[in-house]
Amino acid sequence: MMSKQNWIGTCIGGRYRIESLLGQGGMSHVYLAEDMKLKGKKWAVKECLPFEDDMTYFLEEAEMLARLQHPQLPQLVDYFTTDEGKGFLVMDYIQGPTLQDLFEEKGRELPVTKIIHIAFQLCDLFHYLHTFQPRPIIYRDLKPSNVMLNEQAQVRLIDFGVARHFKHGKQSDTMQIGTIGFAAPEQFLGLQTDARSDLFTLGSMLYYLLSGGQYAYITQKPLEQLRQDLPEALTSTVSLLLQEHPQNRCQSAMEVKMRLRSIYPEPTTVPESFNQKNQLITPLPDKLIVIGGLFAGVGSTFTAICLARTLHAMHIPNAVVEQPTIEPDLYMLLFGDTKAPKDYAFVSKLIAEQTVSTTSTWTNGFSTWVPNHPEGFPNNWQPADSFKLLHTIKKPIVLWDVSTHWEHPSVQELCHSADEIIVVLDASPGKCNRPSSRALFNRFDTYQKRGKKVHYVANGYLPGNFRNEWVDSLPAAPLCTLPEISRAEVIRAVWRGECIQDQPEVLEQLSVALAPLLRVILTEDTFRKRGLKLKARKSLFSWFRKHG
């Protein structure tokens, strides 16, 4: 077997002259090579060391890399074997330090915001890999030395030597391997790895970076004991990622990103037509809010529209998405035949068909509508489809109406990733005590134990002592109560092609009724500054309501 020094200065594959060693690990050596056919072109050439003289893993890695099409993942341009049985991968050469290099250079202390920015990108990369078709890809070896950074702090994930396709039904991986200190327990216990194994490695790396280079498995201490200055939402997320059993961890990369995004929200722009000179725009948090009913007919879609139009009145961009698996309702309530853009295409259909849309979005001021086709969605909707759809919606607040489909896998995945879960109910006698309702209460309680915020919203009033008895029967008192709005008035507004929620007197009622919920969804500063727009608009209705 030739040592790594023997390759330097030689030409392999008939065109790649090896110049220097870039790095090495237990299963590979990576060299810088000059292309003898494309003069001046540099490549990274990886020599893959055979595992027990078996080239199967080399071929699997080559075929896997050949399928990947992502700007932050290695771009394979060639691969070959030699007569001596050596396997080589030729990939684009990326200049820049690894995260480990940068960490050491900065004295093992990086700004928390920089670490979170890196984590955001890794979540996006893991989401791409974990939803890869026809089979998800599990990376299995996240560590600082496998993460490269360019001058713009853009992440590049390198070394797919131990990455494998996930196969449903398998009880174990063919090869148990990973890096001690970062790898998940199941990687060394003869069990199959899945997406949650990669999330464990992400938690291990975050712990390492945030603790000054300490390993969670050695310290056996919660991160908050080492860094009391970190936000609780960050330390609790890391703790959740590091749970021994996969079912107790975050369940998807998007769930992790949603949790982290609540700590460091990004500034958001608003539609140009609403911009005013010298207007102070307060940064808004990115929020995924799942809204559903405890039982059928309780008005979850109506509640979502109420919340959307109240946010619109506060000049806060938002979107209402109708879960593709539910009975279509939103299109009708919005009088879509008249109000939808002429070239509008239903986004859920485009996502399912993997079609690129060039059609316009359906907006009404600061609200964007994403309804189902009025004839329903005929295809099978997967959890990954929900996140693909979510990625197409560039709004800081997304209200996802799930109706009563709490048991659907895609809805459960959304709830794992949601910032807030809103459960709409009313005081219909006996409905809250049904076995199905109690089962859902238990599910919501499980979400709360995982750190999710679950809020109950009552649709309509219940007078007198009956209300007290009803509230006592619930797991928690409703955070707010929607005002009674005549169904006949709602229908008349729909036929006129209007949102009844936009009528000044109705909007005034909603702004008051939803204030407790809005204080939870928005930062206190945002609520105070933007809420002034609503408070400034008094109506005769509010005067009569106040004075009787």
State how beta strands 42-48 and 87-92 pair.
antiparallel
The C-alpha atoms of residue 166 and residue 195 are separated, in whole angstroms, by: 8
Instruction: Name which of 131, 129, 51, 38 is nearest 77 in CA terms.
Output: 38
Which one-letter DSSP state was computed for residue 267?
A: P
What pLDDT was estimated at residue 198?
Answer: 94
* Type and span of the H or E element at 322: strand 318-322
Q: What domains can you pick out in the chain, each with its CATH number?
A: 4-92 (3.30.200.20), 99-261 (1.10.510.10), 281-429+486-547 (3.40.50)
Contact (CB, 8 A) for 379 and 372: no
Per-residue CA distances from 505 to 96, 502, 508, 530, 537 (Å)? 59, 8, 5, 19, 10
| Helix or strand holding residue 443 (H, E) | helix 435-449
Q: Is the pTM of this model over 0.75?
A: no
CA gap 419, 410 in Å, rounded: 16
Per-residue pLDDT of the chain (548 residues; tens, 9 = 90+): 444 447 889 999 889 999 988 877 667 788 899 998 888 889 989 888 765 556 777 887 788 888 887 888 888 888 888 877 788 989 888 888 899 999 999 999 999 999 999 999 999 899 888 888 778 888 888 999 999 988 778 898 887 766 565 555 544 444 446 688 899 998 878 787 888 999 999 999 999 999 999 999 999 999 999 999 998 889 999 999 999 999 888 888 888 888 887 676 543 333 333 333 333 334 455 788 999 999 999 999 999 999 999 999 998 999 999 999 999 999 988 888 888 888 888 877 777 665 545 556 899 999 999 999 888 887 788 777 787 787 778 788 999 999 999 999 889 888 887 889 999 998 776 788 899 999 999 999 988 887 789 999 998 876 666 777 888 888 999 999 998 887 788 888 877 878 888 899 899 999 999 999 999 888 777 777 666 444 433 333 333 334 33
Half-sphere exposure of 481 (CA within 13 A, CB side): 11
Tell me what pLDDT residue 47 has: 87
Tokens 């309530």 belong to 333
Q: What phi and psi values does residue 89 have, to the nearest 5 degrees?
A: -110, 135
pLDDT at 422: 97
How many other β-carbons are positioned within 10 Å of the β-carbon of residue 36? 13
For residues 144 and 206, what is the distance between their CA atoms, to the nearest angstrom?
A: 10
pLDDT attached to residue 478: 92
Write down the pLDDT at residue 530. 65
pLDDT at 111: 93
Residue 226's identity, in one-letter code, is L
Cβ contacts of 461 within 8 Å, gap of 6 or more: 467, 481, 483, 484
Residue 395, C-beta contacts closer than 8 angstroms, at least 6 positions apart: 317, 318, 319, 368
How many residues belong to the chain?
A: 548
DSSP assignment letter at 51: B
Q: Which amino acid is at 270?
A: V
